[in-house]
């Protein structure tokens, strides 16, 4: 893959990313970059990530001579990639699918919340040591408050896909935040038993389970306020609907952790049709990113509006 071309202010083209091989030969790449790359996001694939469009405006707003890049890292190479970032003077890294679990084992110090949530999505490199954090959980709480004007602790939650990593993290974070009523839905309901037991050890929340069968969900929706889609359903336009037609009400809040460049997901469209409050994964991306930024550059408050504007421009194709 060729080296990314630079734009004015020396920020990458939004279509560009570096390969793992280039990371391992970073001295050659670094000589082409002004200002230097000091932050990155890794994943496989990674070319779709909008994190650079969010974090580079934040760096500019804070007057920091650094830039944020994408690096595609294969499964099984996360620890080695962290070593390369450390060696080459990076301040930190975001970790996205499928590396959040592998990153747990690749850090020197693991934040207690990241341990509880079972995933690391933010690496901060401090004094030669690798510190692992999870900003998805706190970002979820902040984004719910912004999108719906409500605290998770005051809502009855339905988590679709609670058996996966994202669903488990939302469930654990919600109980830690004081949520008292959770309904966990999963394709295979029996797989939720360990999570139910774990949540019981964290607080006094009433936790129930159900399947993702339309009949089950239709019966349960009257009992919940906030519906969280933690599955990957909706990433493709041809994905089948998650909820039975006509089951959403205007009183519901719908939080789809998926975001799609081609337009609103089917779940968001259903929420709009019902007059329900709704938010997609872009809201989570913004708020978890702001928390990550403050881990990397202590003493700086994340410039949330600059980050929001960067994402809006990216979504508009600017």
Within a domain: residue 178?
yes
Q: Are both 142 and 275 inside the same structural domain?
A: yes
As a whole number of angstroms, the distance between CA 101 and CA 198 comes to: 18
Average pLDDT of the chain, as a whole number: 92
pTM of this prediction? Answer: 0.91
Element (H, E) at 39: strand 37-43
Token digits for 284?
A: 């989570």
Q: Are both 101 and 59 inside the same structural domain?
A: yes
Residue 114's SS3 state is: helix
Domain of 62, CATH number, reads 3.40.50.10860
As a whole number of angstroms, the distance between CA 22 and CA 3 comes to: 9
Q: Are both 198 and 274 inside the same structural domain?
A: yes
User: For residue 318, what pLDDT is reported?
Assistant: 63
Q: Are both 199 and 82 inside the same structural domain?
A: no
Within a domain: residue 89?
yes
Asked if 114 and 133 touch (Cβ cutoff 8 Å), the reply is yes
Query: Active-site residue numbers?
Result: 100
Q: Are both 257 and 187 inside the same structural domain?
A: yes
By C-alpha distance, which of 48, 47, 45, 64 is closest to 56? 64
By C-alpha distance, which of 171, 164, 170 is closest to 197? 171
> Bridge partners of 229?
160, 256
By C-alpha distance, which of 182, 118, 161 is closest to 257? 161
Within a domain: residue 1?
no
Within a domain: residue 238?
yes
Digitized pLDDT (tens) for each residue of the chain, 318 residues in all: 333 333 334 444 444 899 999 999 999 999 999 999 999 999 999 988 899 999 999 999 999 999 999 999 999 999 999 999 999 999 999 999 899 999 999 999 999 999 999 999 999 999 999 999 999 999 999 999 999 999 999 999 999 999 988 899 999 999 999 999 999 999 999 999 999 999 999 989 999 999 999 999 999 999 999 999 999 888 888 888 899 999 999 999 999 998 887 789 999 999 999 999 999 999 999 999 999 999 999 999 999 999 999 999 988 876
Q: For residue 162, what are the domain limits?
A: 137-279
């Amino acid at each position: 893959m060729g080296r990314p071309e630079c734009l004015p202010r020396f920020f990458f083209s939004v279509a560009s990313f570096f390969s793992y091989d280039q990371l391992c030969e970073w001295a050659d790449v670094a000589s082409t970059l002004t200002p230097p790359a000091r932050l990155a996001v890794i994943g496989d694939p990674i070319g779709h990530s909008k994190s650079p469009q969010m974090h580079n405006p934040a760096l500019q707003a804070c007057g920091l001579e650094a830039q944020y890049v994408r690096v595609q890292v294969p499964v099984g190479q996360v620890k080695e990639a962290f070593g390369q970032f450390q060696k080459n003077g990076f301040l930190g890294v975001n970790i996205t699918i499928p590396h959040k679990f592998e990153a747990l084992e690749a850090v020197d110090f693991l934040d207690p919340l990241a341990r509880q949530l079972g995933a690391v999505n933010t690496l901060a490199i401090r004094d030669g040591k690798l510190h692992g954090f999870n900003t998805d959980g706190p970002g979820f709480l902040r984004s719910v408050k912004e999108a719906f004007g409500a605290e998770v602790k005051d809502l009855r939650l339905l988590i679709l896909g609670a058996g996966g990593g994202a669903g488990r993290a939302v469930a654990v974070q919600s109980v830690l935040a004081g949520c008292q009523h959770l309904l966990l839905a999963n394709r295979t309901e029996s797989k939720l038993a360990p999570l139910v037991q774990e949540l019981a050890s964290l607080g006094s929340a009433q936790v129930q389970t159900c399947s993702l069968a339309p009949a089950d969900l239709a019966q349960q929706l009257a009992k919940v306020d906030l519906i969280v889609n933690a599955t990957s359903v909706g990433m493709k336009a041809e994905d089948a609907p998650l909820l039975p037609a006509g089951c959403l009400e205007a009183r519901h809040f719908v939080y789809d952790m998926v975001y799609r460049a081609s337009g609103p997901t089917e779940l968001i469209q259903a929420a709009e049709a019902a007059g329900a409050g709704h938010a997609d994964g872009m809201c989570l991306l913004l708020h978890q990113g702001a928390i990550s930024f403050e881990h990397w550059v202590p003493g700086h408050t994340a410039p949330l509006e600059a980050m929001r504007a960067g994402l809006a421009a990216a979504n508009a194709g600017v």
